[in-house]
Amino acid sequence: MKRQLYIAGILLATSVLASCSLLPGMKQDAPVARVMDHYLYTSDLEHVLPDGISKKDSATLASRYVDTWIRDQLMLQQAELALTEEQKDFERQIAEYRRSLLVFSYRQKLLQQKMDTLVPAAEIENYYTENLGNFILSGDVIRGSYMKLPKDAPRMDEVRRWSWNNGEEELDQMEKYCLSYAEKFSDFNESWIYFSSLSDQLPMTISRPSSYLRYNRNIETSDSLYRYMLHISDHLAEGETTPLELVEEDIRNIILNKRKIEFFQELDRSVYNEGVSKKQFELFK
């Protein structure tokens, strides 16, 4: 009762309930709004207003809810008048939706319980080998190392030598150096990345990357604040076969999706065959 009085007071304060405030002796669940012969009651608002919020916030939420309710009811009334009884008969659509939802939920439950989601590396490699023509690079990819250094960073001759040689010892030296001086450092000698992901960070434009990267394995450029150094240890051009590691996750998803389709097909066959063996259906001529 106290909460209902509180709600009515809130709505009165926002002028929504100017003529519907609750007074001692009034009906406990009083109406707060009406559209035609449909009423909104204080009990309906109890589920809208969370506990512990301020009176101002409660008034705002209540006013917004009442306004939305009125608009929805007015639209509903227009729809009721405009549509024929046949157009308003949704029983068949509801039944079809329920059927589809039940079948979908059942299939998903069995899928989660019974389908094997482990895809061995050998299966991924076999699919990759058998479908190489489907995996063509859409852009150049590279392996190597990258540094972004302040222009006043010390020992640049050593840094260049480390970058150009790019051996294990040099990479170790570079990493230690970059911990103290570099804005960015990345060693991607063991993994392929798209060149475009790095070229966007360089203050230079490379219009034909495939040709440029074929002849330039050490790139150094600068702007007013930084020096950028990129060493390319390996390069594959656009149009060549995509390395397995870049499409491994895609192949895994392809295999799982194929399994899912086969699982559902086998489930349909199993359910149908069971229906036949148990004489659960009959065809009439």
Is-contact 270 243, C-beta < 8 A?
no
Cα(107)–Cα(101) distance, integer angstroms: 10
Looking at the DSSP bridge assignments, the partners of residue 226 are: 150
Q: What is the predicted pLDDT for the residue at 179?
A: 95
Closest CA to 58 of 67, 66, 48: 48
Work out the angle at residue 283's Cα, subtended by the Cα atoms of residues 277 and 285, and round it to the nearest 5 degrees.
145
Cα(69)–Cα(35) distance, integer angstroms: 9
Closest CA to 35 of 63, 97, 77: 77
Closest CA to 53 of 41, 62, 64: 62
Q: What is the predicted pLDDT for the residue at 260?
A: 96
Domain-by-domain residue ranges, the chain? 2-82, 90-134+247-285, 137-236
Is-contact 42 29, C-beta < 8 A?
yes
Q: 6: which 2 tokens? A: 């509180």
Q: 281: which 2 tokens? A: 């259906």
pLDDT (tens place) for every residue of the chain, 285 residues total: 444 444 444 444 433 333 333 333 334 578 989 999 899 998 888 878 888 788 888 888 889 999 999 999 999 999 988 988 888 888 888 999 999 999 999 999 999 999 999 999 999 999 999 999 999 999 999 999 999 999 999 999 999 999 999 899 999 999 999 999 999 999 999 999 999 999 989 999 888 999 999 999 999 999 999 999 999 999 999 999 999 999 999 999 999 999 999 999 999 999 999 999 998 988 888
Give the number of other CB atoms < 10 A from CB of residue 256: 15
Q: What is the predicted pLDDT for the residue at 278?
A: 92
Running DSSP on this structure, what letter comes out for residue 49?
S
